[in-house]
Chain A
Amino acid sequence: MTIAPERPVAPGGTGPNLRAPTVGERRRSPGQLRATDVYAMLGAAAAALSLTALMFTRLLPFSGTVGFVVVAYVLFLALYGLLVSFDEDGPAVRDRIAAVVVQSLGLVMVTALAVVVIYTLWEGRKALPHLNFFTQDMAEAGPLDPLTAGGILHAILGTLQQITIALAITVPTGLLCAVFLNEVPGRFARFVRTVVEAMTALPSIVAGLFIYATIILALGFDRSGFAASLALSVMMLPIIIRAADVVIRLVPGNLREAAYALGTSRWRTVWHVVLPTARSGLTTSVILGTARGVGETSPVLLTAGFTAEINGNPFEGPQLSLPLATFEFVKSPEPTMIARGFGTAAALMALVLLLFVIARVIGGRGPGQLTRRQEHRRVRASRQDAERFAARTSAAASAPRTPAAASGPGANSPTAQPSPPRTPRRSAP
């Protein structure tokens, strides 16, 4: 087996292959499952299950699902090792057992998520089918009312308003700060980066406590949606700055240098080269920060207050949000309230999932990597520029010779030059 490049570079070079972790080297997948391994695994599984069942039902005073699974798993490992050791040597036995342990841990990880999500949706099935759950608030519905009355419209509205305000604060500030960290390097930038990294450690409840103590206790404002979004902003700001900082740092230096070499000023380089190149990564980091902020309960708990009615004004009066509503619902002992809590949690999960899917669709591409449509647009713009230059030079100098740029703009791989045509237009004579 030879080591070939992971992605064979196409002749002519289609865009920078930035995401590949090790350019030119490819990792092989050494594992090959043989028939004897499968037999040993099946045999060990059967033996472990029957032994455990025997222990739990006949021999020993054990009970409980968790205990059953743990005992069966340990027995399986021991038996599998024994079976493999009949025809393999020591290192191979260790290899097989390690493979089983690692793969089962990976499986547990994925299963845990599946169980949490599916359990929430399953428990939410009682509240979710009622349409009024999404179109009414809880003003008319008491804890004893059936699920056909009342809903979480007020919480949905509150969540949307609070996260919008928080984003309006954090996105400009966060991106500006991330640009600052990368484009104005120096001792001050290093200090700011250290402080921002430290603040990602800020427990979310402390962010809530800070806003509670300043805005509500010291300045004397009421609890409101605005205070909640301030608390969310304090919590989200370091997260967004840190993620955006990493993304901007990945913008290849030669793009910047090329822009400088063309005589572009620094802020134009940032505006026309750095930010467009990092756009998909920046969007992803903002959306993931939003997903964190939407689900955070503790800062909101201290600052938003509690209400059962729709409050469309975030600046006055208490305002509920989805995680806070979940929390308040499940504190009640009534089964209908708990069902509502799970319904709210399911709605919240759906919102986070949606944000996540959007982030995946937009993001997942390295800086400078374009979708097909973006690539086409760049090619078209580049071709138009070339035609324009050609027309201008022929008109101005009335030279019969066409410039070389007009001959083949497609072959010059315009994807590698995301700097838009505006700069050359200004600098053209």
Chain B
Amino acid sequence: MPRRLYADPGLPDRVFRGVARGGGGLVLAVMLLVGGFLLYRAWQALSRAGWSFLTTEAWEPDAGRFGIAAVLVGTVLIALVAIVVAVPLAVGGALYISEYAPPRLRQTLIGVVDLMAAVPSVVYGLWGLFFFEGQILPTARWIATYLSWIPIFEVAGADPNDPLAPETVYTSSTLIAGVVVALMVAPIACSVMREVFSQAPVGEREGAFALGATRWGMISSVVLPFGKGGMIGGTMLGLGRALGETIGVYLIISPVFEIQWHVLQSGSSSVAALIALRYGEASEFGMSALMAAGFALFLMTLVVNFAASSIVARSRSGAASE
């Protein structure tokens, strides 16, 4: 951190500081404008709907019945599925890169993971829609047949006793959208976790080995506790991204506007997909309602992101790197 200078800087420096301050102020203004404008435009819809905005499932703004209960539940479910799939992948990938991979391979693998984070979401969406959906259907069917006593795996309209039943009840489901989003989220979480794992102090690693720990013993007693903050932070960063994902989800789900807990069943919804679906045909009031939904989504990702960064900042992770 550069220290603060107190000497009189002279005119050119004062100009420089003014310009820099102006640049910072400009960015601040744009950012506050986005949030402020969203809230301002959303206010019309929010004041009309009141608290029912949070409890209504339907989305018919022009008929006065609209709320984000269904889409919010859908968004959270997709994000949860994504996190459940992505976190083991990310932790495993990060541990592999920082602990197991041969040093020569390490840089390449880091590049591969970074590249994975840069692959456009529409490409993941295509992969999910045309390739993965076909591959996952038998498994979805198997889970629905044998595990349907767990409420979220229940599929309405599926008949486990009919082997020739059509598989369309399993397509376009929360599960498929969640797995596609997981692929987008995993590299982001992975690179945060890898960064933190590789900072675990060498002295403590050697201490664990000297006490006779196996490699896994060392990892579970030194690296994982050291990297706990980074693991939680990376997960939440991924969660924030998963909540706001649009195109990958939009391509896969078939939107429904009722609360749908069954992750294997066709039909799901998300706030971002709702906006992409309805913005074109929206009236002025409908636009305001969409703004309100977007604002709610923004607030959610904001809270998740802030929690993530404060957890990462407060944890011990990275303490040895200074």
Q: Which residues of A contact B (CB under 8 A)?
A: 3, 21-22, 25-31, 62-67, 70, 91-92, 94-95, 98-99, 101-110, 112-113, 115-117, 119-120, 123, 173-174, 176-177, 179-186, 188-189, 191-192, 195-207, 209-210, 212-214, 217, 234, 237-238, 241, 249, 253, 256, 260, 265-267, 270, 288, 291-292, 294-298, 301-302, 323, 326-327, 330, 338, 341-342, 345, 348-349, 352-353, 355-356, 360, 364
Contact = CB atoms under 8 A, between A and B. Distances in A.
A409 to B, nearest CB: 29
Interface of B: 1-5, 9-10, 12-13, 15-17, 19-21, 23-28, 30-32, 34, 37-38, 41, 88-93, 95-97, 99-103, 107, 109, 111-116, 118-124, 126-127, 129-131, 135-139, 142, 183, 186-187, 190, 198-199, 201-203, 205-206, 209, 213-220, 240, 243-247, 251, 272, 275-276, 279, 284, 287, 290-291, 294-295, 297-298, 301-302, 304-306, 309, 320-321
A353 B112 CA distance: 11
Contact of A360 (B111, B139, B306): B111
28 contacts: A27-B202, A67-B138, A91-B217, A94-B217, A98-B220, A101-B92, A105-B88, A105-B92, A106-B93, A115-B131, A123-B126, A173-B27, A177-B24, A179-B20, A188-B21, A188-B24, A203-B245, A205-B294, A207-B34, A210-B37, A212-B279, A214-B37, A292-B118, A295-B120, A297-B122, A302-B275, A345-B120, A356-B114
A243 to B, nearest CB: 12
B198 A196 contact: no
A119 B92 CA distance: 24
Contact of A205 (B92, B244, B284): B244
A27 B122 contact: no
Q: Which 8 A-B pairs have the closest CB atoms?
A: A105-B92, A295-B120, A203-B244, A106-B96, A64-B138, A176-B23, A267-B16, A95-B214
A173 B291 CA distance: 27
B41 A177 contact: no
B298 A203 contact: yes
Given A63-B138, A110-B109, A116-B119, A209 B279 contact: yes
Nearest to A324: B122
Given A101-B92, A217-B287, A345-B122, A29 B103 contact: yes
**Which secondary structure characterizes the binding site on chain B?**
helix
A260 B5 contact: yes
Given A108-B92, A210-B34, A265-B13, A196 B27 contact: yes
Given A176-B19, A267-B13, A22 B202 contact: yes
A291 B190 CA distance: 19
A228 B125 CA distance: 21
Contacts of A196: 27, 31
A29 B97 CA distance: 12
A127 to B, nearest CB: 13
Contacts of A205: 244, 246, 272, 275-276, 294
A232 B56 CA distance: 32
Contacts of A212: 279
Contacts of A92: 214
A220 to B, nearest CB: 13
Contact of A29 (B19, B21, B34, B102): B102
Most chain A CB within 10 A, of B97, B99, B102, B109, is at B99
Contacts of B107: 364
A198 B102 contact: no
Contact of A209 (B21, B202, B245, B275): B275
Contacts of B240: 201
Nearest to A330: B126
A202 B301 contact: yes
Contacts of B301: 201-203
Contacts of A63: 138
Contacts of B244: 201-206
A199 B12 contact: no
A234 B123 contact: no
Contacts of B199: 21
A360 B34 CA distance: 33
Given A207-B34, A217-B287, A266-B9, A117 B119 contact: yes
A127 B84 CA distance: 36
B103 A105 contact: no
